[in-house]
Homo-oligomer: A and B are copies of this chain.
Amino acid sequence: MDRLSLTFSALADPTRRAILARLSSGPASVNDLAAPFSMSLPAVSKHLKVLERAQLIARGKEAQWRPCEIKAAPLKEATDWMEQYRQFWEERFDRLEDYLKELQTQEKPAPVKSATKRKKHGSNK
């Protein structure tokens, strides 16, 4: 599985996103991480394995604890990928582009219909 797919599928689960959120304020043990959830410890352990495989977390070894730490490098790749679509969710861009295009082709503000209306009402800028 490619890295991007690995990253996105790891993020496609609210439990795992919550775990990352928790880890963003510092390392934690598996028990700590499991506490807020109603699911069993093995279930959380599996989620951690998914996050580890996606390299979104790293795990240590301290006595019987396996402390988890966030390691969000893959998120850079993911945001970089998304960045290429920014134009599609920022309408500002579309509007600006349209506006610039309009300026370029029309040279003058010549909105025919509204110009007629304006003339009728005798008001000018």
Contacts and interface: CB of A to CB of B under 8 A. Distances in A.
Candidate in A12, A70, A90 with the most chain B CB atoms within 10 angstroms? A12
The majority secondary structure among interface residues of chain A is helix
A8 B5 contact: no
Interface residues of A, number: 29
B8 A12 contact: yes
A73 B85 contact: no
Contacts of A24: 84-85, 88
Contacts of A2: 14
Contacts of A75: 82, 85-86, 88-89
12 contacts: A2-B14, A5-B13, A8-B8, A8-B9, A9-B9, A9-B12, A12-B12, A17-B81, A71-B88, A75-B86, A75-B89, A76-B89
